[in-house]
Structure 1
Amino acid sequence: MNQFFLLLTIPFLGAYAGDIHFECPRENGQFEDPYQCDKYYECSDNHASELLCPDGLVFDPKIKSDNKCDQPFNVDCGDRKELQTPKPSGVCVRQNGHFPHPDSSVCNIFYNCVNGHELEVTCAAGLHFNPKTASCDWPETSGRVGCRSEANKQLDDGFQCPTDFRQIDGNGQMITHHTYPHPDDCTKFYICLNGVEPRQGACHAGLVYNEEIQRCDEPENVPGCEDWSNSTTKS
């Protein structure tokens, strides 16, 4: 699932790790270390210098630009499992990357870290942060356990989002935010964000909620609400 989250630009700051014995595959270029995913070698006239990506990023030899360090979820490190020692800062496990909330029961909040500075991001209702893809995802695919959930939240008037909500509307379109009529007030309705988190909504003056079309409508189009108005109270 594609879901909005802010991704800041990380300036390339390769850390110099010294000169070592490395056989340059070509006279000039950048080449990955066979064991460590965030280490690489820059060859100039067959002379190799060992470099490190900024903490939290890894080296991708497939990138055509000079800056070949990228987020781990974009790179297949293969057998290059080793990484440099982390440099944590606050909630940032490493200087750069996307990291879950330190409270493992809070699954809908994560942090986008850039050079040790975090930006808190909240997933849309009903979604959890998926560390493998660094994005918001459905709970069943995010793999998180022990999460606090809004799925069974009850509003003050007792409304809860049904667990057997319809996935498809009358036109065959996927329903993302399910809506339901209020049992006593034609001008009010309930919204279940992503089908799980309840909110109460109200129509503009002169309109009533039409369950058939899932939106507010003229009273004469809604059986039982023909004579309803915002200035009257249904007995």
Structure 2
Amino acid sequence: MHKQYLLFTVFTVGAFAVPDGYYQFNCPKEHGQFEDPYQCDKYYECNNGRATEKLCPDGLVFDPESKRVSKCDQPFNVDCGDRKELQPPNQVGVCLRQNGFFPHPDPSMCHIFYNCVNGQELEITCSAGLHFDWETGICVWPETAGRTGCKGNPNRKLNDGFQCPAEYKNVDGNGQIIPHPNFPHPSDCAKFYICLNGVEPRLGACFGGLVYNPETQRCDEPENVPGCEHWQNQSVESEK
């Protein structure tokens, strides 16, 4: 009875002697790195069963499933689960934290974002027609990003004045969406325009005597394209 009383007294005093929020981590294995149960960017390194508390670089979080030596990764690559807490941010300019991918401070500039490494930012512009998605750290279609009030990156023009049309038929005969539609050249049957993501123009060309067929959006034999039936003969004449 006396021993039981002493043990109870020590436990009781110990339980109330520690400050609020105190947590003592017990190593589940002699060696390894293990996540904190409350804070996603905190982990413990165990050596011979003794735990040392560590923090990921600001902006990164600990991934217990990682097989790498350094288990700190971008938040969008890690499922933190109930580990909701994070260390206080150390913002530098547009870098909301020292490391990570962050949107432009102007919320209307949805196509520009920053890759921050140790507080140094690199400005990145999405391909035309795409918006930065903070949850995935990549550029996606506007409807996927779900951002509002975006100005977007304006449609570009080629030197010959071509600009991708604002409205076009974006589905083919089978009802499939056409992500990069093509458009015929106004005067050259062998040339056509490619609109990347529907807004960024590139000049394409058919070779080997073929011409562009706007119906199939492919290079085809001249006789299959109305108005270009004699294009091969015309191109030979123009080269003389």
* Common topology (TM > 0.5): yes
Contact 2:170 2:179 in 1 (8 A): no
Corresponding residue for 1:13? none
Contact 2:180 2:196 in 1 (8 A): yes
> How far apart are the structure 2 equivalents of 1:75 and 1:85?
19
Q: Could you tell me which amino acid in structure 2 is paired with residue 43 of structure 1?
A: C
Unaligned runs of 5+ in 2: 1-21
Corresponding residue for 2:125? 122
Corresponding residue for 2:139? 136
Corresponding residue for 1:95? 98
Q: CA deviation at 1:183?
A: 5.1
SS in 2 for 1:199: strand
Contact 1:151 1:161 in 2 (8 A): no
Equivalent residues in 2 for 1:23-62, closer than 5 Å: 23-28=25-30, 29-62=32-65
- The structure richer in helix per residue is 2
Contact 1:161 1:198 in 2 (8 A): no
Structure with higher Rg: it is 2
| 1:168 aligns to 2:172 (yes or no) | yes
TM-score, normalising length: structure 2: 0.71
Q: CA deviation at 1:96?
A: 1.3
| 1:193 aligns to 2:193 (yes or no) | no
| 1:214 aligns to 2:213 (yes or no) | no
| Corresponding pairs, count | 211
Q: CA deviation at 1:45?
A: 2.9
Range with bigger deviation, 207-216 or 92-101: 207-216
Unaligned runs of 5+ in 1: 1-19
> How far apart are the structure 1 equivalents of 2:129 and 2:65?
36
Contact 1:22 1:48 in 2 (8 A): no
* Distance change (3 Å), C-alpha of 1:202 and 1:36: closer
Q: CA deviation at 1:146?
A: 1.2
TM-score, normalising length: structure 1: 0.72
Range with bigger deviation, 33-42 or 127-136: 33-42
State the superposition RMSD in angstroms. Answer: 3.3
Corresponding residue for 2:4? none
* Distance change (3 Å), C-alpha of 1:158 and 1:174: closer
1:169-222 deviation per Cα after TM superposition (whole angstroms, max 9, x unaligned): 67x875321012245664554433222x15263647976432133245554442
Q: Could you tell me which amino acid in structure 2 is paired with residue 136 of structure 1?
A: C
| 1:67 aligns to 2:70 (yes or no) | yes
